[in-house]
Structure 1
Amino acid sequence: MFETAEVPGGRALQPLLHDVVICVAAPAFAASPRDGQLRGARAEGFYDHDRRLLHTVCLLIDDREPEPIGVQPLGPDRVRFTSVHRYPSDRTDDPTLIVERIRTAGEGETVSLHNVGTVARRLRIEVAVATDLADIADVKRGLTGRSLPCSVAKGGPGLGWRSRTGRAHVRAVEYEATPEVSGGPEGGTFTWDGVVLPPGASWRAGLSVTGRAVPDPPGHPVAPSSYVPWSEPVVRGDRRLVGLVRRGLADLRALRLADPQRAGAGAPEDQFIAAGCPWYLTLFGRDSIWSARMLLPLSTELARGTLWALARRQGTVHDVFREEAPGRILHELRPAEAQHGHGLRLPSHYYGSVDATPLFVSLLVEAWHWGLPDADVDALLPHAQRAMEWVVETSRRDEDGLLRYYPRPGGLLHQSWKDSADAVRDAEGRRIEPPLALCEVQGYAYEAATGLAELLGTRGLHDRAESLRGWAAALRKRFAEAFWIEAKDGPAPRYAAIAVGRSLTPVSGPASNMGQLLCSGILDPDGCRDIAAWLASPDLNSGWGLRSRSAAVPGFNPLSYHGGSVWTHDTAIAVQGLCATGCHEEAVALVDGLLDAAVHFSYRMPELYGGDARTGNSPAPLAYPAACRPQGWSAASGVAILAALLGLRPDAAGKVLRVRPVPPALLGPLAVEGLRLGDARPTVRVGSTGRAEVSGLPGGWRADTT
């Protein structure tokens, strides 16, 4: 059914997205070229539930394509394409027929024609439509499906397609005259012939697009209700930060999904954030967890929904193909098993990540601190304990007690957030194969154990809490012994290795992973200062954000997936750690670059972008050509940075909100209204003197601003 793209060697390549216009209303989205004409190429089309419903929607007026003049986003889910239709016989060079197409994810599109000239026009308007009903995994692999035959629908002007794995329907709506509809072996056409448009008049018609996978995947995420489970803050301060927060929250609204498996009739809807559009518009363990974690200052409801969606799918058995194990947290949920290229074959429920499980535990702990109701905390606590048991038991697989991953053939080779095949390289540029213990994963595990121990202690489970503290202390000691690499040159005498192998040989070469250790508690103060110096150095700080790999080592590639590009969320997590450990100057250096990059991306931060060095006259940064945009944890990063700059840290046990803001001399005064702490909505203000003022705390809570 599928054909490879015409490239040297005949191998299909992943479609590039750098010039694709995406509008999204999860689980649906539309991907379009900038002229709005869908021609069945690359990733173009209307999608729903990982299924391409249409890949061709081509408009002709009098047998000619309109000439595009602009594209304007109307929100995360809608976009307007404007074109003109000109006539050589006109006595003016001005366009006299303006064409507008408004495309809406999950609905379809409307076509409007406006005669702004002085003579009447008689028009023939055609819209050609076709589809291959391809799975998103095949589209991502660069496979072009053959157009399927369609039939004229009964009961109104429309067309329908059906295959073994999908179905789609297109109907004409909101039209002034009934179109002629024809179907054939490679698609169909809606035709309006003899449309008379007097001067000043307009004509409009719409197409609705519906469909999905066949059969319906049981338990797959669905579109959420209109209710948004977080507050809309009012931020005052650096305009770039204000823009990043505002645009990020708008994109997150469009990336929401809901778990259809509610706790019962009348139970609250469990919403979570899809990983990213177009490739990962579904539940992803680590991505959805990080998005919810970054938004905790605005919501524990999103964290609750994310935790329950994952808890219902927590591993219960040992399954080699799914890489499932009791207590393990899901990595990825898809409608069906799929081939992902390069020998990667994944089931619909895939558990192949080493980091989602400890991150699940930490999300529950942090949500508790931010005021998640006790009933939810207690109901989710057994799931967190089972997750922690998986972490501890997996770490005992090797004598050194580190948390490693052991991928199966045909599964993901690397199982943390840097999951590309060449994500782990040493200082000589050589690829390092698993099993590996990644540095940030040890930090996640330590943070999960110490946080869960604190939570268990408040529930009277002191023996379990003490056991976890002992395990975490031993892990911290093993980390200190195994992960530090002495540096002959550099901003600090040592750095943390990206990983160690089974022989405890550290993988050399500075990488951004060590930035995610700063908030975990696994480092001592000297280690925090050493890492802060490396993160601020020009080899890792590109001037636009934190590079995933040092520019000073072989194998650095500023436009690779994990070998030198800048990841928005990775920079934000490093900023959180730098602020939490008092390294404010290093934090602001990264923030300033990231915010400048946000301006060039119109505040819709891509999943990742180029890691080229910034100079005084360097051009704007470029998005990675196949990056998701919008992307969940990138969109949530603005809130994470806001909370980091304010230095917010709630303590549920002590009922204290600690506020340790960045000195205003570094980034200016900052204020936010509409935070959430339990049922309260506190306000935090930091003026020009650096003094923090906090109001609106829950009853019994106090602020610590010393």
Structure 2
Amino acid sequence: MFESTDSSAPRSLQPLLHDVVICVDAPAFAASPRDGQLRGAHVQGFYDHDRRLLHTLCLLLDGREPEPIGVQPLGPHQVRFTAVHRDPRDQTDDPTVIIERVRTAGEGETIALRNVGTAERRLRVELAAATDLADIADVKRGRRGPPVPCTAASDDGSLEWHSFSGRAEIRSTASRVDPEAAGGPEGGTLTWSPVVLSPGESWQVRLTIAGRAVPEPSRHPVRPREPAPWSEPAVETGDRRLRDLVRWGLRDLGKLRLADPLGDGPAEDQFIAAGCPWYLTLFGRDSIWSARMLLPLGTDLARGTLWALARRQGRVHDVFREEAPGRILHELRPAAAQHGHGLLLPSHYYGSVDATPLFVTLLAEAWNWGLPDDEVDALLPYAERAMEWVVERTGDDADGLLRYNPRPGGLRHQSWKDSVDAVRDAEGRRIEPPLALCEVQGYAYEAANGLAALLTHRNRHDSAQRLLNWAEALRKRFAELFWIPSAEGPASRYVAIAVGHGPTPVSGPASNMGQLLSTGILDEEDCCDVAAWLAHPQLNSGWGLRSRSATVPGFNPLSYHGGSVWTHDTAIALRGLCVSGRHQEALALMNGLLDAATHFEYRMPELYGGDARTDDSPAPLAYPAACRPQGWSAASGVAVLTALLGLRPDITRRTLTARPATPLPLTVRGLVLDGQPLTVVATGSGDCAFPELPSGWRRAEG
């Protein structure tokens, strides 16, 4: 989230993450430089529940830092740093002591020393530790707080820090030597001396790092106790890129899970946190999209996400929280926080225009994938209240559109493109709210139709018809207001990113129109025109879909929303292209996305550079401050897989549509439909079979 300021005073800058090693086990994570030494700079440290527990953990051997030689991820939650210690008195340049530090999010780290030389080594091992116990919002603003004084307990080798906002501690257990602990106003140290290592001998110390905010956040999401609420599919394909993107994405998602402590059902209500490090919490829009993308793996994640948001659905009108009855939460934090540049957000913040219709659609889609009827019935009132908010909001708008109009000091733009300059016109000028974004109208249309189908199935025909009438009126208004003629480009018109005052459409092609393709608000001719723009080099960088056309003033390949490529945005557009039968354009986007994934070792960043791909162009660059791992980016592999298979279930008819777009044979086992196993075999020539189809279901004809 970003806000601007007119002040000329110097300001701190957001820390960059492009060279940061992150391991995560939500709600905890650790952020390290590539040598593993935490020196108190930038985002470095151990964190839990948005609180930095330590920012310094620096290892010295005989007063010198080890020399780093490698870093190796051991999983989403764990990383190993390897270094060596050389003694100038040795008769060889070879290292004689190898140091391995295994850092584990939410736990601490293990430090192991191994003497690989031929002589005994006597070492003084020191660890310097310090913290500011800062809130993640302050860290994101580039601010570092004053040091918190450290107290030491020599009897158990521990260091502790306490402040008005947090507490932290380090406790050590070693194989042979107890440490000397010392505290002070700037931090503390743990010292082991001497550590005597015979040739071939090893020594190890285990550090447990713990702490929380003060006071502890009440009723805030916690680490899950239960396994991930989805199956892991077996993907058999000649395209290793797709298989690895799915596999590594699910590994990251497993560690981005959180559980709602307010749940009282037989199973935990789990959801996916938005992203690490900045948004490791419940975000309405992000968590919903992650759950939508994973629906073919089971409906339990969708159920947990829906309940976590339903319990926090808006009940009253509150200007500061931007809460309203029926509105779905945007962001949940342990406490109110100052995000800089005049942006002060409460712990429960409702400032998004898209989370509410997306909530309705998630319930409708989860129902079609087999969410049990008792869960659907229990969640239905929340979806109806959400839809009431959408309908009332459009009724209050002069143009009958779903707009956002933020309060002063809140988020200026309130859809997924929420940076301060997210909406620009073809001249490069910033366009200010109130605005009706194109994809938000599509979300609302899709939500109304999905809820109408659900109500019809429950014999509430009058309510369903009112929603269908409202949706049709919105579709007509959309067709009248959002199309902009284009004298140059791949099609004679494109969809405006937004409609402002007047109503005036905002000129300049942007990626937002790609998210309309699967909502139903476009007709066949509309889809053809949108597909042409998405495939054109103005928007298709060759590595994925640019957020903004490269031909308009203000395009910046490393701008947050002004030209970068967003992983989830590309995956959603790709799905829409497949749904609308534009397979050639879909495969072009898919190959760019999968090629980009190889350069990111299949841990897709939140967003990356939108530079044009050429025969000799370098690998794409991650946006320097992008979350990685990030929820909907990690889930995009499953979204691409589902899009290629063309899967769309219809619970009312018990039919499953499959229109494969994959040019290669593809077999996927371990999918889940209606709570039962599903296997899909695509031939690569547009046909497919279901060797395993749930009882009572059949393939849709045509």
Q: Could you tell me the TM-score, scaled by structure 1's length?
A: 0.97
Residues 181-204 of structure 1: per-residue CA shift (max 9 Å, x gap): 011111100000111100000010
CA contact (8 A) 1:168 1:209 kept: yes
For residue 236 of structure 2, what is the aligned residue in structure 1? 236
Query: 2-side partners of 1:34 and 1:381: how far apart?
Result: 48
| Residue 681 of structure 2, aligned match among 685, 693, 700 | 685
For residue 372 of structure 2, what is the aligned residue in structure 1? 373
For residue 601 of structure 1, what is the aligned residue in structure 2? 600
Structure 1 residues 155 and 287: alpha-carbon distance in aligned structure 2, compared to 1, 3 A threshold: farther
For residue 248 of structure 1, what is the aligned residue in structure 2? 249
**How far is the alpha carbon of 1:705 from its aligned partner?**
6.3
Query: 2-side partners of 1:154 and 1:200: how far apart?
Result: 30
**How far is the alpha carbon of 1:154 from its aligned partner?**
7.9
For residue 451 of structure 1, what is the aligned residue in structure 2? 450
Question: AA paired with 1:83?
Answer: A
CA contact (8 A) 1:30 1:44 kept: yes
For residue 611 of structure 1, what is the aligned residue in structure 2? 610
**How far is the alpha carbon of 1:568 from its aligned partner?**
0.0
**How far is the alpha carbon of 1:502 from its aligned partner?**
2.8
For residue 59 of structure 1, what is the aligned residue in structure 2? 59
Question: AA paired with 1:96?
Answer: T
For residue 23 of structure 1, what is the aligned residue in structure 2? 23
CA contact (8 A) 1:86 1:96 kept: yes
For residue 5 of structure 2, what is the aligned residue in structure 1? none
For residue 48 of structure 2, what is the aligned residue in structure 1? 48
Structure 1 residues 93 and 363: alpha-carbon distance in aligned structure 2, compared to 1, 3 A threshold: same
Moved more, 80-89 or 412-421: 80-89
For residue 507 of structure 1, what is the aligned residue in structure 2? 506
Count of residue correspondences? 694
**SS of residue matched to 2:505:** coil
Query: 1-side partners of 2:316 and 2:103: how far apart?
Result: 44
For residue 171 of structure 1, what is the aligned residue in structure 2? 171
**SS of residue matched to 2:35:** coil
**How far is the alpha carbon of 1:471 from its aligned partner?**
0.2
CA contact (8 A) 1:692 1:705 kept: no
| Residue 675 of structure 1, aligned match among 661, 671, 677 | 671
Question: AA paired with 2:147?
Answer: S
Query: 2-side partners of 1:174 and 1:597: how far apart?
Result: 43
Question: AA paired with 2:441?
Answer: Q
For residue 216 of structure 1, what is the aligned residue in structure 2? 216
Residues 359-404 of structure 1: per-residue CA shift (max 9 Å, x gap): 0000000000000000100000000000000000011111211000
CA contact (8 A) 2:482 2:498 kept: yes
**SS of residue matched to 1:144:** coil
Query: 2-side partners of 1:154 and 1:127: how far apart?
Result: 14
Alignment of 1:333-348 (within 5 A): 333-348=332-347
For residue 315 of structure 2, what is the aligned residue in structure 1? 316
Question: AA paired with 1:261?
Answer: L
**SS of residue matched to 2:672:** coil
Structure 1 residues 515 and 65: alpha-carbon distance in aligned structure 2, compared to 1, 3 A threshold: same
Question: AA paired with 2:510?
Answer: A
Query: 2-side partners of 1:637 and 1:153: how far apart?
Result: 48
Query: 1-side partners of 2:545 and 2:684: how far apart?
Result: 28
Structure 1 residues 493 and 93: alpha-carbon distance in aligned structure 2, compared to 1, 3 A threshold: same
Residues 31-65 of structure 1: per-residue CA shift (max 9 Å, x gap): 00000000000000000000000000000000000
CA contact (8 A) 2:482 2:496 kept: yes
Alignment of 1:616-627 (within 5 A): 616-627=615-626
For residue 404 of structure 2, what is the aligned residue in structure 1? 405
Query: 1-side partners of 2:150 and 2:211: how far apart?
Result: 14
CA contact (8 A) 1:680 1:696 kept: no
**SS of residue matched to 2:149:** coil
Residues 314-335 of structure 1: per-residue CA shift (max 9 Å, x gap): 0000000000000000000000
For residue 99 of structure 1, what is the aligned residue in structure 2? 99
Query: 1-side partners of 2:529 and 2:589: how far apart?
Result: 16
**SS of residue matched to 2:408:** coil
Query: 2-side partners of 1:458 and 1:255: how far apart?
Result: 35
Name the % identity: 73
Query: 1-side partners of 2:631 and 2:14: how far apart?
Result: 21
CA contact (8 A) 1:659 1:705 kept: no
Query: 1-side partners of 2:245 and 2:515: how far apart?
Result: 21
Asked if 1:279 corresponds to 2:278, the answer is yes
**How far is the alpha carbon of 1:690 from its aligned partner?**
3.3
Question: AA paired with 1:39?
Answer: R
In structure 1, list runs of 5 or more residues that go unmatched. 1-7
CA contact (8 A) 2:24 2:105 kept: yes
Query: 2-side partners of 1:450 and 1:678: how far apart?
Result: 21
CA contact (8 A) 2:298 2:675 kept: no
**SS of residue matched to 2:76:** coil
4+ long deviations beyond 4 Å: none
For residue 126 of structure 1, what is the aligned residue in structure 2? 126
Q: CA RMSD in A?
A: 1.0
CA contact (8 A) 2:230 2:298 kept: yes
Question: AA paired with 2:258?
Answer: L
Alignment of 1:661-672 (within 5 A): 661-664=660-663, 668-672=664-668
Question: AA paired with 2:286?
Answer: D
**How far is the alpha carbon of 1:18 from its aligned partner?**
0.4
Alignment of 1:83-482 (within 5 A): 83-153=83-153, 156-237=156-237, 238-263=239-264, 267-482=266-481
For residue 4 of structure 1, what is the aligned residue in structure 2? none
**SS of residue matched to 2:616:** coil
Alignment of 1:467-546 (within 5 A): 467-546=466-545
Query: 2-side partners of 1:153 and 1:547: how far apart?
Result: 55
CA contact (8 A) 1:566 1:610 kept: yes
Q: Could you tell me the TM-score, scaled by structure 2's length?
A: 0.98
Query: 2-side partners of 1:688 and 1:553: how far apart?
Result: 38
CA contact (8 A) 1:438 1:500 kept: yes
**SS of residue matched to 2:169:** strand
Question: AA paired with 2:73?
Answer: P
**How far is the alpha carbon of 1:174 from its aligned partner?**
3.9
**How far is the alpha carbon of 1:92 from its aligned partner?**
1.8
Question: AA paired with 2:172?
Answer: A
For residue 703 of structure 1, what is the aligned residue in structure 2? 699
CA contact (8 A) 2:53 2:210 kept: yes
CA contact (8 A) 1:259 1:309 kept: yes
CA contact (8 A) 2:578 2:661 kept: yes
**How far is the alpha carbon of 1:81 from its aligned partner?**
0.2
Query: 2-side partners of 1:432 and 1:611: how far apart?
Result: 22
